[in-house]
Structure 1
Amino acid sequence: MPGIQRRNLLKAALASSTTMALPGMVWAEARSLTDLGGAMLDLEKATIFTARDIVTLHPDRPTAQAVAVVNSRILATGTLEEVKAMLGDQPHDVDRRFEDHVIVPGFIAQHDHPVLAGLTMSSEILAIEDWDLPGGTVPAVKDKDDFMTRLAAAEAALDDPEEPLLTWGYHAAFYGPLTRDDLDTISTTRPIFVWARSCHEFILNTAAMEKAGVTEGLMANWSPSANAQSSYRDGHFWEQGLFAVLPQIAPIVADPERFRAGLELMRDYMHANGVTYGNEPGGILSKPVQDAVNEVMSPSSMPFRWSFIADGKSLVAASKDDDQVIPATLALEDWYSGMTSMKKETVKLFADGAIYSLAIQLRQPPIGDYHGEWMMDLDAFERAFRIYWDAGYQVHVHVNGDAGLDRVLNVLEENLRRNPRYDHRTVIVHFAVSAQDQVELIRKLGAIVSANPYYVTALSDRYSETGLGPERADQMVRLADVERANISWSLHSDMPMAPGDPLFLMWCAVNRVTSSGRVAGENQRVTAEQALRGVTINAAWSHRLEDERGSIEPGKLANFTILTENPIMVDPMTIKDIGVWGTVVEGRVLQIPDVDQKDARAPIRATPESIDFAKHVLHHAISVVHAHL
């Protein structure tokens, strides 16, 4: 670039109050005019995107009308005139395709499970909620009669009389028990497999049991605990019973082609909801499954990046020597490439069970016949926490009950006193039931929260009647208390435990409207801007990525979500209805395509080649959801 052009650009930058970064250098990092001049020697062509409004979430300039991008990073924000003035004679184009839209920081899927989503989304979805998928909306099941009617229709629609029927989403707490006899009324010849909403129990009809070879003789060889958690008469298998029957049913319900179709559906679904970056905590410990995931998620055509957090529970259990744990964790980094990666120096651990089955550990007894479970015994949890803490890892902990949270906070405090660490950002994940005193302790200990606000929408009505009672059910996910305590918090869907839709998560957190239409815990509502931060900058903070993602400011990656309306300005009840035009991911403009739904329910053909893969897939899937029971 000629010297006079560099001088003009430097003059404009120095004179402007608009935020700017030079390529390869954040403006604030420039130490002298010599630094600036050197940085401007090889300026590349910029693209200026204009919009009706740009919500930056940058405290110095929260809104803008234009943002300049060079390659994958943000160069400057401001009005169009200000940005042009800063660029001076630097070559640039003005892209006006978003002038009638709103640009917000790229949505971050803080905690989701693509393997589970790939399996469940490729089944016949009959669940407690609507699922808005690229091919259309699958409406919620109203009651057991509705489930049976729709399942019968799905069975009748299959041409091949031998094709198994797999459905996901049935919830006995909502619709009542489901048995083999019920499914036999649908068909006595076609195998039918019902995967429950929790993902950790199956109900089979007689034909499915015969096809899978599940007999009383087979069950006689199972362990006492597996038999105790099985009902041959009802065709119902859960917990250890499910693990026992898994080798029989895996080759039938987890065909590689269906799995790939499900992953592609998950990819398109999350892109359609504006996701630009995502993470699976407790990442895959099966190389064949990860290879299959990489085939879909690693190519450069992938519309968002995806990272994986190591499953510390399994890694520690597999290592008798503490010194083996960290090398085993580091060895997983080679499993990823392209648009997938390992989240370095980060680990996932588990405390108590899941809210969906009320297997959570509570300070006060539950209402009804429920009991809590620990996903890791105390000695194993303490050992794993200590190993990763001393190695400098950020620890994400699944926890749902207030007694479970007591355990997590006690162990965190013990390690802080033993080996003090600054800015450790231990993440309290899910955060279903908690108490006010625990919020204050979370603040004092320097932990942060990743919450699932969908629990209130989906479960508060039912759990007011059973399990928790009105007070605990309505005060689930107490985000306003966390906000008042000045604790950083983010939102996640735990897909498929909730729809992987950031705008919907925002809607849940802001409104706290239940499935019946009432407001549960109005005192725990948050503002729309706070909720937007929960799926952007705070989500980035929870993964220690705030220097790269989460807001629209110079020097960061150019990751934007393009919306039809400003979620901060609309009626809060309409946030979930805002349209998503597409995304910009590291400078790539990715409009959501208008494509027909791929047939994710293609006939399953179990072959010898597919059996090992199927077992790997379901074994991993069940290990992931074991904490969701």
Structure 2
Amino acid sequence: MKTSLFTLTALAASFPALADSPKMPFADTIYHNAQVITVNDKQPDANAVAILNGKILAVGDNEDVLKLASNSTHVVDLKGMTMIPGFIDAHGHVMNTGLQAVSANLLSPPDGPVTDIISLQEALRIWADKPTNKAQDFIIGFGYDDSQLKEQIHPTRFDLDAVSTEVPILIIHQSGHLAVLNSKALDMLGFNADSKNPPGGVIRRVPDSNEPNGVLEESAFFGALIPLFTQISPDENELLFQAGMELYAKYGYTTAQEGRTMSDSVKTMYDIAQKKKLLLDVVAYTDIQLGTDIMKPPYLSQSYNNGFRVGGVKLTLDGSPQGKTAWLTKPYLIPPEGQKAGYLGYPIMPDEEAEKYVGMAMENGWQLLTHANGDAAIDQYIRAVKNATKKYGEGERRFVAIHAQTAREDQVQSFKELNVMPSFFPMHTFYWGDWHAQSVLGDERAENISPTGWALDRDMIFTSHHDAPVAFPNSMRVYSATVNRITRSGRVLGKDQRVPSMTALKAQTIWAAYQHFEEKTKGSIETGKVADLVLLSDNPLKVNPMELADITVVSTIKDGEVIYTQQAAIADNSCAASRKCQALATHTFMIAGLIPHRH
């Protein structure tokens, strides 16, 4: 293969300091003998990449690129290994992923050990018995999923009381939209038979009683959780943030998102970045309902400040389909406990409030990410965007429909007409596909969850995400799900919604960069772009698509610097991370007397 590397004019544009240089500069690092998937349609593949000052200096054949090596250039022979652009997080919660890292792992296989309520209780006991956790007066777990438990029900306060009645226990549903508290925690937070359901939330009750059964939905849960985060010290916040970024780097992410945050958390992340450049680039979106005082410089910015910036605002219109709190136009196949046939879920807010927030974003020129899972919530969002556009006019806003899990084909067409980007959640087909078909939506509607095929049919740009900590930020499982749509039981869920491997890769790289207004600097391996790169154990364009989830990240490179290697991680055996997590867990979750709750 013979490829033109660049012209001096193009190089000077990317590296202004070199504009007057009479000859080509030498590279800091050169990777060669690689299978380079550039995700650049003009130069789709190459063998070598040269890096200078954290940017890509050249892309092309081994012979040409190696001419840029000097005695001081670090030359790496990749021996046929695959290189791709760094993965870009289209939607996730990097700081909350740090919380996942320090909590008891309540995930079901393949990500965790919990298959029933007994194994959930045992996982909590094992975590609580660790010396560094035992010293605290709180037990916290993350990732239980009633759809994967043998009993197919949520645990209750009484199941958690069997673990302990002496210390408070909080376990968070894998969706991040529900939680369960034991009796001690409920008492501490003031939940009792007189507690009223907050707007946009539900306190589930013991049958034939007003007593809380321990399960909190949506705003009832968030109202208890948000004050907890305000009690975390700066040092603990920094450890959470670092733990989240390290987990992202393990899976090849070089740009992470904090997809729903508060002003205080934005200031915390910004302050951490001022002390030392962050491991990754992190773009945050503040909850528009919780205040917008932070939506100004130096926080709000199109460029990163030591790896951090605020990119816009987040709006949430409904809940979780697998948790059966998403707002649908047709009933759930099997209603959740305590609900009657015909149950549709529920909205977070009325239409006029949704339109107020969408209009606020347009008026101020803020990019808006809107969580809308159920098709009724998507209808609400489409109405709000249409009405606000009539008032404020069309523009290059790149508003995003986050999840759009049950979007109908007419709604995907509306996204195209309104210039709304869908950011889909194809991992649902693996984690909850069978549950959607058997309990949530039924076969017909389940076939079309995360309808990437309908978007592709319309030549639309879309992105794919993991929504960590809802799932691990496992880039290759996102990739596999977008291509294959295989459920846990092996069923292909929505064969017409599958997309080619290159399309799936674009949805996690160049199209995700476009979503963040960063396509000119990231998302593909091109001269002048930042040297955000990933080395993979196999070539995703050449392996059997069913093997995509088995590909591993060998190394993650951010701004030309190696920030993760699989070999080092294996050798380290996560000792450092474990010490950090243990130190954090010792101090973070001491909530006694700290959390007021409004009933």
Classify the TM-score, shorter chain: 0.7 to 0.9
What's the secondary structure of 2:333's corresponding residue? coil
1:53 aligns to 2:43 (yes or no): no
Aligned AA for 2:425?
N
- Residues 387-426 of structure 1 correspond to what in structure 2 (within 5 A)? 387-426=360-399
- The alpha-carbon distance between structure 1 residues 158 and 371, as it changes in their structure 2 partners (threshold 3 A), is farther
Give the match for residue 315 of structure 2: 349
Give the match for residue 102 of structure 1: 82
1:70, distance to aligned residue in structure 2 (A): 1.7
1:145 counterpart (80, 93, 118): 118
- Residues 368-447 of structure 1 correspond to what in structure 2 (within 5 A)? 368-369=334-335, 370-447=343-420
Query: Counterparts of 1:519 and 1:350 in 2: how far apart (Å)?
Result: 30
8 Å CA contact retained: 2:94, 2:256: no
Report Cα offsets for 1:124-179 as digits up to 9, x if no partner.
01123533xxxxxxx24222233234334444555847643221222334431322
What's the secondary structure of 1:368's corresponding residue? coil
Query: Counterparts of 2:277 and 2:298 in 1: how far apart (Å)?
Result: 24
Q: Which has the larger radius of gyration?
A: 1
Give the match for residue 573 of structure 2: 596
1:26 counterpart (10, 15, 21): 10
1:193 aligns to 2:180 (yes or no): no
Query: Counterparts of 1:493 and 1:607 in 2: how far apart (Å)?
Result: 25
Give the match for residue 519 of structure 1: 492
Query: Counterparts of 1:36 and 1:197 in 2: how far apart (Å)?
Result: 49
Give the match for residue 360 of structure 1: 326
1:275 counterpart (253, 275, 291): 253
Give the match for residue 124 of structure 1: 104
Report Cα offsets for 1:381-440 as digits up to 9, x if no partner.
212222322333333221112222222223333344444334432222112002222222
1:274, distance to aligned residue in structure 2 (A): 0.8
2:279 counterpart (288, 303, 306): 303
1:234 aligns to 2:213 (yes or no): yes
What's the secondary structure of 2:436's corresponding residue? helix
Query: Counterparts of 1:413 and 1:509 in 2: how far apart (Å)?
Result: 29
Give the match for residue 540 of structure 1: 513
What's the secondary structure of 2:369's corresponding residue? strand
- The alpha-carbon distance between structure 1 residues 191 and 391, as it changes in their structure 2 partners (threshold 3 A), is closer
Aligned AA for 1:18?
S
Aligned AA for 2:64?
E
What's the secondary structure of 2:43's corresponding residue? coil
- The alpha-carbon distance between structure 1 residues 128 and 285, as it changes in their structure 2 partners (threshold 3 A), is farther
Aligned AA for 2:21?
M
Report Cα offsets for 1:539-590 as digits up to 9, x if no partner.
0011111000000111211111111211111111211221212122122233
TM-score if structure 2 supplies the norm length? Answer: 0.84
Query: Counterparts of 2:197 and 2:55 in 1: how far apart (Å)?
Result: 58
What's the secondary structure of 2:296's corresponding residue? helix
Query: How many positions carry a matched residue from both structures?
Result: 569
Give the match for residue 144 of structure 2: 170
Query: Counterparts of 1:399 and 1:538 in 2: how far apart (Å)?
Result: 20
Aligned AA for 1:45?
F
8 Å CA contact retained: 2:50, 2:65: yes
Query: Counterparts of 1:244 and 1:422 in 2: how far apart (Å)?
Result: 35
Query: Counterparts of 1:497 and 1:115 in 2: how far apart (Å)?
Result: 12
Query: Counterparts of 1:75 and 1:549 in 2: how far apart (Å)?
Result: 14
1:334, distance to aligned residue in structure 2 (A): 7.5
Aligned AA for 2:144?
Y
Aligned AA for 2:515?
S
1:119, distance to aligned residue in structure 2 (A): 1.8
Give the match for residue 531 of structure 1: 504
1:223, distance to aligned residue in structure 2 (A): 4.9
Query: Counterparts of 2:52 and 2:364 in 1: how far apart (Å)?
Result: 37
Query: Counterparts of 1:531 and 1:206 in 2: how far apart (Å)?
Result: 45
1:81 counterpart (63, 72, 86): 63
- The alpha-carbon distance between structure 1 residues 585 and 51, as it changes in their structure 2 partners (threshold 3 A), is farther
Give the match for residue 262 of structure 2: 284
Give the match for residue 456 of structure 2: 483
1:17, distance to aligned residue in structure 2 (A): 5.1
Query: Counterparts of 1:596 and 1:291 in 2: how far apart (Å)?
Result: 33
What's the secondary structure of 1:333's corresponding residue? coil
8 Å CA contact retained: 2:107, 2:114: yes
8 Å CA contact retained: 2:536, 2:555: yes
Query: Counterparts of 1:118 and 1:604 in 2: how far apart (Å)?
Result: 11
8 Å CA contact retained: 2:147, 2:322: no
1:203 counterpart (176, 180, 190): 180
- The alpha-carbon distance between structure 1 residues 430 and 146, as it changes in their structure 2 partners (threshold 3 A), is same
1:528, distance to aligned residue in structure 2 (A): 1.2
- Residues 320-331 of structure 1 correspond to what in structure 2 (within 5 A)? 329-330=295-296
Aligned AA for 1:169?
G
Report Cα offsets for 1:195-234 as digits up to 9, x if no partner.
3333344433345556x37585xx75x5565997265563
Query: Counterparts of 2:361 and 2:300 in 1: how far apart (Å)?
Result: 20
5+ residue gaps, structure 1, are 1-15, 132-138, 316-324, 620-629
Give the match for residue 322 of structure 1: none
1:551 aligns to 2:524 (yes or no): yes
What's the secondary structure of 2:358's corresponding residue? helix
TM-score if structure 1 supplies the norm length? Answer: 0.80
Aligned AA for 1:117?
T
What's the secondary structure of 1:186's corresponding residue? coil
8 Å CA contact retained: 1:122, 1:258: no
8 Å CA contact retained: 2:531, 2:558: yes
Query: Counterparts of 2:484 and 2:268 in 1: how far apart (Å)?
Result: 39
Report Cα offsets for 1:15-72 as digits up to 9, x if no partner.
x9513265xx635969xxxx99944258643132214211111112100011122212
- The alpha-carbon distance between structure 1 residues 279 and 298, as it changes in their structure 2 partners (threshold 3 A), is farther
1:488, distance to aligned residue in structure 2 (A): 0.1
Query: Counterparts of 1:449 and 1:384 in 2: how far apart (Å)?
Result: 19
Aligned AA for 1:234?
N
8 Å CA contact retained: 2:372, 2:404: yes
